[in-house]
Amino acid sequence: MSRLFILVTLFLSFAVTMLPLQTSYAAGSFISDVKQFAEAGDGESQFALALLYEYGNEELGRDQKQSIIWFEKAGRANVAGACLYLGIKFENGNGVGQDYDKAACWYDCAARQDWPSAQFFLARLYREGKGVVQDHIIALAWLGLAAEHGYPGSEEQYEELLMAVESVDVNVLKEKQKSLLQGKRCCN
């Protein structure tokens, strides 16, 4: 009974706290604020605007070209989520021409910021040699990092690749992981 009371109290406290935020934005004001901040160079707002264009709503129609423009601006600002989105888009040719080199570059931008999904996708590119020189050691390093975060499928693929690669020194692999996470780069 006391747990239920605490949960209901927390929920109501949160709802009351959020009420002014929900009513403070007039229709269209939120989108215009996001646009204003994005145009001023705020990377997170650029990412938000890219998502708004990517999925659209009643006020802002879906626009693939605008979403790519804003994803790239946010990616150049090192916003990891934008880098991941761009990697997925370029790998699959979604709204852009399929380009494994660019996919690898954008995945790398997010992976170096310790995003496990980007680490997993980048490892696959290294394993298959798509957009990068095939390198099973680098693939293992990225898969190991993704597995440390519990990313689905990464541990199984790590074990599978580890068995396929002959004589891997775990200490060398750990050093490779450290070096991969150092420095954040972004695609231009």
Contact by Cβ (8 Å): 100, 121? no
Q: Which of 146, 96, 137, 79 lies closest to 118 in space, CA to CA?
A: 146
CA 121 to CA 180: how far, in whole Å? 15
Residue with tokens 């070209």: 65
CA 7 to CA 9: how far, in whole Å? 5
- pLDDT band for 169, please (50, 70, 90 cuts): confident
User: Which tokens go with 174?
Assistant: 């750990």
Tell me whether residue 99 is exposed, middle or buried, using C-beta atoms within 10 angstroms of its C-beta: 0 to 12, 13 to 18, 19 or more: middle
pLDDT in tens, 58-113: 888 999 999 999 999 999 999 999 999 999 999 999 999 999 999 999 999 999 99
Burial 28-45 (b: 16+ CB within 10 A, else e): eeebeebbebbeeebbeb
The structure's pTM equals: 0.81
Rg (the chain; Cα; Å): 21
- pLDDT band for 27, please (50, 70, 90 cuts): low
User: Which tokens go with 30?
Assistant: 């939120």
- pLDDT band for 4, please (50, 70, 90 cuts): very low
